[in-house]
Amino acid sequence: MEKLWTPWRLEYIKSPKSGSCIFCDLPKDQQDKENRILHRGKHCFIIMNTFPYSNGHLMVSPYRHLGCVTAIDDEETNELWHFTKHCVSVLRKTYSAQGFNIGLNLGKAGGAGYAEHLHNHIVPRWEGDTNFMPVLADVKAMPEHLSAGYDMLLPQFQNIPS
């Protein structure tokens, strides 16, 4: 069984939770660069994960505050998966990703950090992308700053084909 070690995410796990929802609050803030929002659609938006499993870890979320995939309507579903497909294409091109982990964590028991707001994770992967650092030193080397990743990815999300 392959393991994806993510000890640097402990900062997120231990951080105090405000009780607010980032997927509701950040799009209202209109500070896309600071909040790392790459694209806004009619029903969903694309955002970089602030505590990524790997460089290029993106999320697609509907604007509506929905806790389960059973509550999402057809238009939101279509846009969510259309944006997810675009994210895969972009990450293959810009990061030379060889594989992906894509998925929804539904509910707290399902591992959702924000269990009340549906969001799809797109995590790029590469052969041999795990090494001794996370296992032995409890450290993950992230070779790219989030701001640099945002600046590189943003042009790829300016005009998403419909």
Alpha-carbon distance of 115 to 78, in angstroms, equals 21
Instruction: With beta carbons less than 8 A apart as the criterion, state whether 122 and 84 touch.
Output: yes
Per the residue annotation, which of 82, 119, 121, 145 is the catalytic one?
A: 119
Does the annotation mark 39 as catalytic? no
Backbone angles phi, psi at 124, to 5 degrees: -70, 145
Instruction: With beta carbons less than 8 A apart as the criterion, state whether 38 and 153 touch.
Output: yes
Catalytic residues: 119
